Amino acid sequence: MTAFSLDPAQPAWRAELRTLAEQRLRPLAEKGEPGRVNRALVTQLGQLGLLDRLFTSGALELCLMRESLAYACTEAETALALQGLGAHPVHAYGTPAQRARWLPGVRAGTTVSAFALTEPDAGSDAAALSLAAEPDGPSGWRLTGEKCWISNAPEADFYTVFARTAPGAGARGVTAFLVPADRSGLTGTPLDMLSPHPIGTLAFDAVPVTEADLLGEADRGFRVAMGTLNLFRPSVGAFAVGMAQAALDATLAHTAGRDAFGGRLKDLQAVSHQVAEMALRTEAARLMVYSAATAYDEGAPDVPKRAAMAKLLATETAQYVVDAAVQLHGARALCRGHLLEHLYREVRAPRIYEGASEVQRGIIAKELYATVEAP
């Protein structure tokens, strides 16, 4: 794979998006109700043309969007990412009828999508999911079971749902379905989480689905899930890089202007070296994210490994940088409403969702050993 480099227009676009997020999106985010889908914010993302770019951009541009929005408005970044995560399977694997029915609304921000993979007993081990798709006639199924920690649930307009059509077959027996929210037997409950995003559980009580609801082929849904995650995992890293950069910039401003011990905080070697380490790790994570996204766009064979590396390094880095920033700011950073108080709550979840850090290490090791010939 050739080394990537950003076109000169891309950093400028990234700066433009930061300003847009601060001036147009953050005010709408601040008016939103914690734990609820902010439809006004989603609609504004559509009106600005950002949701449409989810389906016309490559992985690198997706990373630039998520990093830029995360820097100035994490709520806008998350709203954009969830639209992409829930609707990408429809875009990539859906029928012409499914795409025509659902994607225009997703692009416009008037239709909210969701990606329903995780279950109470099948989080990191996604292949072990147990939501049952039991045969119902010659071309239908009934979905029975539960999904948990589903972003945008229970308020989404449709869900990309992964269910087991072949018991005991592991990843080979999973099928992806497009399930409208108003389908009979489907209910949901919101959850109150550390960071107040819209997230909840879904209960399936013999929910009817047919071949017209299939996304891809029956029993091949795990490929749909992993194809989606391989695209979005580097951009989760970009989300983390955006937060890390925001925390770093806040720390630079604070330590340069804060009087302490007869001088400025930045003049203390312990502080300046800490800030240097924060900057070093943030830039390293950014470069790995961009590299993984470029690999995806070029169709490189090692995308799963690179995507896992990018997601792992960037999310762990963001946790470190935000925590260090809180320490250097002191108690003020823990006050409700402070940027770092907000980032401290936001930064924890990305190390878990779309494959926890431990899962990413497992993927990396598996991909590495696949290249080693057995003695």
Numbers of helices and strands, H then E, in the chain: 11, 9
Record the tokens describing residue 196, joined without a space: 């107040």
Distance CA 207, CA 156 (A): 16
354 in active site? yes
Burial of 299 (0-12, 13-18, 19+ CB in 10 A): exposed
Residues 6+ apart with CB under 8 A from 315: 236, 237, 240, 347, 350, 351, 357
Q: Measuring CA to CA, which residue among 170, 84, 163, 164 is closest to residue 125?
A: 170
Q: Measuring CA to CA, which residue among 90, 79, 107, 84 is closest to residue 179?
A: 90
Q: How many CB atoms lie within 10 A of CB 282?
A: 24
CB 237 within 8 A of CB 289: yes
Pairing of strands 140-151, 174-180: unpaired
Phi, psi for 116 (deg, rounded to 5): -110, 85
Q: Which amino acid, 356?
A: A
Q: Which of 22, 77, 354, 358 is catalytic?
A: 354
Burial of 144 (0-12, 13-18, 19+ CB in 10 A): middle
Positions annotated as catalytic residues are 354
